[in-house]
Amino acid sequence: MLELRSAHTDSPTGVGHEAYELIREIYPLCRSITGEGVRDTLRSVQRRIPLTIVEVPCGTHVFDWTVPPEWNIRDAYIKNRSGERIVDFRQCNLHVMSYSAPVHRTMTLGELKPHLFTIPEHPEWIPYRTSYYQENWGFCLSQKQLSQLTDGEYEVCIDSTFTPSGTLTYGECYLPGATEEEVLVSTHICHPSLCNDNLSGISVAAMLAKTMAQRERRYSYRFLFIPTTIGSITWLATHEDVVHRVKHGLVLTGLGDRGKVTYKKSRRGVAEIDRVMSHVLKHSGQDHVVVDFIPYGYDERQYCSPAFDLPVGVIMRTPHGAYPEYHTSADNLDLIDPQSLAGAYDHCLIAFDVLEQNGVYQNLNPKCEPRLGKRGLYRSIAGQQEKQNRELAILWVLNLSDGTHSLLDIADRSGRSFEEIRQAADALTACGLLKNAGR
């Protein structure tokens, strides 16, 4: 069995800094649910992991939805009478409402205002707005910018295109394991220059895929980099033949801020991934919270929809909408932290280790306790408390290894960490008192 271990270092070359540098690289790109910004983002990820880029034709029917026309934008601005760009897409891609229809005309401030969006309570910030499935156009700007606009005429331009013959693009990194049973990791790639939501999820998923690609794997791992909602719906609709292989799953989002880790359970609530994540966080020694499933949030809504009911939970830090910078220009490189990214990576990687190593064992000497001393299981070790902890872990494993309890069951019931229980099982197996009875 592999030893559970911390996965990152605090050095500048550690995984947290590597994840942060990926975010820095793709931060300027203008992403939406389709378009060149998504492709450019996936190409950056592809330079780090074995990623397949998939194109699904616009107009494809996916359950109750249809893949919309591909949207791209080249430029956008509002100019005053002096020809000065007072709102400039080139300065911040949040300035344009995503999926805005093309427009180029001169209009009064009164005509323009219904198409302007601000955050009055944060006068320096620019909001993020979308209009994916209803034709509209708009500009997002700071309240300070809006307050400086005077009556008069303005030149308004959004140089965008809709291409019905285009495609929806997503990325997939599939790592085959010893079995076809899968761990699904999904993250959304459709937001423009927003770091926590969700460049953090993209970067942590890429780091996890890079690590898992170098390991021996019992499970197969499928990492999906998809536009939110329509992406997961499209993947499910085009992969119904393999969905049954998904035995565990995580949606990664909002992992870069400095808040405590939050785990949202799957619809099932008692799936193995729910128990594993709860166990890993409990024994991490870090502040965290575990919340129940609700049918609102990210792509877990689709994976956990009734016909699929996949065991997919969500790992994040501060939940969406619970921090003021959410969906604003303040969700920038200053909001996220390499250590937060590295911590999230560690939690996920340890959870993968538990999934890989969890199993059911059979006590081969179940009539009373065997003599452990003659088998070298009462070692002379540094501290009495450590010795007692090790011996108690061994006794728990012996007592509950009846062919029905998994190592995770034993860890949870005993209150000990999975690692302690796994080490005890290894020691008992090595001396012939235990055998692996499978899953």
Q: What is the DSSP string of 120-182?
A: TTSTT--B--B-SSS----EE--HHHHHT--SSEEEEEEEEEEETT-EEEEEEEEE--SSS-E
Listed residues 99, 132, 163: the one ending a domain: 163
For 234-281, write each residue's pLDDT tens digit.
999 999 999 999 999 999 999 999 999 999 999 999 999 999 999 999
Specify the DSSP element, H or E, that contains 359: none
| Averaged pLDDT of the chain | 94
For the record, the structure tokens of 178 come out as 């010893």
pLDDT of 379 reads: 58
Q: Are residues 320 and 241 in the same domain?
A: yes
**Residue 376: per-residue pLDDT:** 80
What digits encode the pLDDT tens for the residues 151-167? 999 999 999 999 999 99
* Residue 401 pLDDT exceeds 90: yes
**pLDDT tens string 198-231:** 999 999 999 999 999 999 999 999 999 999 999 9
Query: Of 391, 393, 439, 386, whose CA–CA distance to 416 is shortest?
Result: 393
Per cent of the chain over pLDDT 70 is 95
Closest CA to 136 of 78, 107, 96, 77: 96
Which pLDDT score is estimated for 382? Answer: 42
Q: Does residue 267 share a domain with residue 173? A: yes
Q: Which residues are annotated as a binding site?
A: 191, 197, 327
Mean pLDDT of 19-30: 98
What is residue 143's predicted lDDT score, i.e. its pLDDT? 98
Pair (242, 382) in one structural domain:
no
Looking at the fold, whether 256 and 316 belong to one and the same domain comes out as yes
Residue 61 maps to which CATH number? 3.40.630.10
pLDDT above 60 for 7: no
pLDDT band at 189 (very low <50, low <70, confident <90, very high): very high
Residue 2 resides in a domain: no
pLDDT at 3: 37
50 three-state secondary structure: coil
**Mind listing the pLDDT tens digit for each residue in 61-80?**
999 999 999 999 999 999 99
- Whether residues 249 and 384 share a domain: the answer is no
- Average pLDDT of span 407-429: 96
Domain boundary among 295, 328, 357: 357
**pLDDT score for 6:** 42
* Residue 384 pLDDT: 54
Interval 303-346: pLDDT, tens: 999 999 999 999 999 999 999 999 999 999 999 999 999 999 99
Residue 387's pLDDT is: 64
Angle of helix 338-357 relative to helix 418-430, nearest 10 degrees, comes to 40
pLDDT over threshold 70, residue 439:
yes
Domain span at residue 206 reads: 15-67+167-357
- Assign 389 a pLDDT band (cuts: 50, 70, 90): confident
Same structural domain for residues 94 and 173? Answer: no
Q: Rounded to two decimals, what is the model's pTM?
A: 0.94
- Residue 2 above 50 pLDDT? no
Same domain, 134 and 213: no
CB 46 within 8 A of CB 189: no
Q: Residues at the annotated binding site for Zn(2+)? A: 191, 197, 327
Domain boundary among 109, 138, 163: 163
Other C-beta atoms closer than 10 Å to the C-beta of 95 total: 24
The CATH number of whichever domain residue 123 belongs to comes to 3.50.30.90
pLDDT value, residue 386 = 61
Backbone angles phi, psi at 273, to 5 degrees: -65, -35
Checking DSSP bridges between strand 220-226 and strand 182-188, what pairing results, if any? parallel
Share of the chain above pLDDT 90, in %: 92
What pLDDT score was predicted for residue 9? 41
Domain co-membership, 49 together with 137: no
d(CA 389, CA 420): 9
In this prediction, residue 375 carries a pLDDT of: 85
Q: What is the pLDDT of residue 438?
A: 79
Whether 197 and 146 map to the same domain: the answer is no
Q: Give Cα separations from 61 to 188, 280, 303, 310, 431 (angstroms).
A: 20, 40, 18, 22, 58
Q: Do 150 and 201 share a domain, yes or no?
A: no
